[in-house]
Structure 1
Amino acid sequence: MNDGRYTPPPLPADPPSLERERLPQWSHDETAAFLAIRADLDHSFVSTKRNKALWEAASARLHSLGFARTPDQCKSKWKNLVTRFKGTEAVVADPQTAARGSSSFPFHEELRRIFDARVERARALVRKKAKGKDPDDHDDGGGGDGGEGDEEEAEQLEEEDDDRASGETMRSGSKKRTRKAAARRSGLEGEVEAMLREFMRRQLEMEERWMEAAEAREAERRAREEEWRTAMVALGEERLALVRRWRDLEDAWRARAEEREERRHQLVAAVLAKLGAGDAS
């Protein structure tokens, strides 16, 4: 304040967090490359509880393809893609609106292939375990009983009908055991289907909760940003009020100074007039 005037301080700049959150959009090629990498790592994601290292691996593979994305950005993009996939699943299931659903979300088929491959892997694993544990796969004797019945029938062609009926009963029992084993395997596959549906439902619920938490954090960030902007507006108005008050005080000070100067001139003029009058007399 060299010339007697008040210089207001500059307004603070925008918070740095706003600049950090302005991220570039994902291009179509970048998203397609990311889905190919995610499909390749899907088995590891399903079998591993802590997948931080897998997101880092996905980020590194994107970097090798010329796309700079952090692990957190890859994770957030996957959550958004799954959410959009769920939103278009019902539309694509309807033949009359399938074209509209595919155009609204161009990566629907890529997501479906990933989830279908996951379900198929789980089915294969359960079938493998069921095959190793089902006793009818080892000792039901279906083929052996059939061969024994054929052998008895060949040896006793000329014997009485009751002997042939006995052989037919044996073969019938073997067929019943085979059908029972097939029914058990069918029931096991049904249980696997139900287990997989429950698994997918829980996973989608977890992803929905994650999206809700992310939306809540975004709403909180926006509320804080709005509060910051309101505080900056109030601070600017307070600064302008201080400037106006200072200018009013400065104008009043100048007016008083001019009034004193005018009185001084009048006093000097009066003294000079008296002195001139005394000299003349």
Structure 2
Amino acid sequence: MLWIEAEGGGGGGGGASGSKKKSISSDEEEENDDSDGEKVGKKKRKVKGNMIVGSSSGGNNNNLVSSLKEILDDFMKQQMVMEMQWLKAYEAKEEERRIKEMEWRQTMEALENERLMMETRWREREEQRRMREEARAEKRDALITTLLNKLRREDHNM
């Protein structure tokens, strides 16, 4: 509305002057621009005056500010909701990672205990095998000694 007043020169009778301006060629328009410099200045002042009056008198500016504020509030709420969702998802993933790490540690600990038990059993079996081998060696040595002693006695007796 302000734009129309600025171009038309007012609210009611600006139609004829607007059509005259449209029919002027570009060369003539440049000449008119030089001569109408004072008029343009007045129009700018008038437009500025109308803008100031329009912004201060109308409730549109307040409505615009309140709607922008509402939009920003909604945006901030959405951002907060998204941030909370992201934080919950992050915490859930972190908790899942901790649980898996704890399970992995328990599994590794169980495997280590099993390995130690198997190693202990192997050492015990190895020790028993050596003891049996030593017992066999002692029996064999005793048998050989007995046989040699018998052979010596028989040689002495003959």
Which residue does the alignment assign to 1:82? none
1:248 offset after TM fit, Å?
0.7
1:193 counterpart (69, 77, 80): 69
Work out whether 1:237 is the aligned partner of 2:113: yes
How do 1:29-178 residues align onto structure 2 when only pairs under 5 Å count?
A: 135=1, 137-138=2-3
| Structure 1 residue corresponding to 2:99, chosen from 189, 208, 223 | 223
| 2:131 equivalent in structure 1 | 255
Partner of 1:182: 58
Computing the radius of gyration from Cα coordinates, the structure with the larger value is 2
Q: CA deviation at 1:178?
A: 5.7
Distance 1:190 1:139, change over 3 A: farther
Displacement of 1:231: 1.2
Provide the C-alpha distance between the structure 1 equivalents of 2:75 and 2:89, rounded to a whole number of angstroms.
21
Structure 2, unmatched stretches of 5+, are 12-52
3-state SS of paired residue (1:197)? helix
Q: 1:202 to 1:244 in 2, by over 3 A?
A: same
1:217-249 C-alpha deviation (Å, 9 max, x unpaired): 111111121111111111111110111011011
Q: Would you say 1:208 and 2:75 are equivalent positions? A: no
Question: In structure 1, how many angstroms separate the alpha carbons of the residues matched to 2:132 and 2:142?
Answer: 15
| CA deviations over 1:57-115 (Å, ceiling 9, x no partner) | xxxxxxxxxxxxxxxxxxxxxxxxxxxxxxxxxxxxxxxxxxxxxxxxxxxxxxxxxxx
**Runs of 5+ consecutive residues of structure 1 not aligned to the other structure:** 1-134, 146-176
1:272 to 145, 148, 154: 148
Q: Distance in 2 between matches of 1:235 and 1:139?
A: 87
Cα distance change, pair 270–192 in 1 and its aligned pair in 2 (3 A): same
Counterpart CA distance in 1 for 2:85 and 2:56 is: 43
Q: Deviations over 1:234-273 (max 9, x none)?
A: 1111110111011011011101111111111111121122
Identity %: 37
Displacement of 1:198 in angstroms is 0.8
User: In structure 2, do the counterparts of structure 1 residues 263 and 138 end up closer, same or farther at CA, with 3 Å as the change threshold?
Assistant: same
CA shift for structure 1 position 138: 4.7
Question: What are the superposed Cα offsets for residues 147-194 of structure 1, whole Å, 9 maximum, x if unpaired?
Answer: xxxxxxxxxxxxxxxxxxxxxxxxxxxxxx969951232122212211
Q: Helix, strand or coil: the match of 2:90?
A: helix
Q: Report the 3-state secondary structure (helix = DSSP H, G, I; strand = E; otherwise coil) of the residue aligned with 1:257.
A: helix
Change in CA separation of 1:178 and 1:263 when aligned onto 2, cut-off 3 Å: closer
Please state how far the C-alpha of 1:210 moved relative to its aligned partner: 1.1
User: TM-score, normalization: structure 2?
Assistant: 0.62
Task: Give the aligned CA root-mean-square deviation in angstroms.
Answer: 2.7
| More helix per residue | 2
Equivalent residue letter for 1:242: M
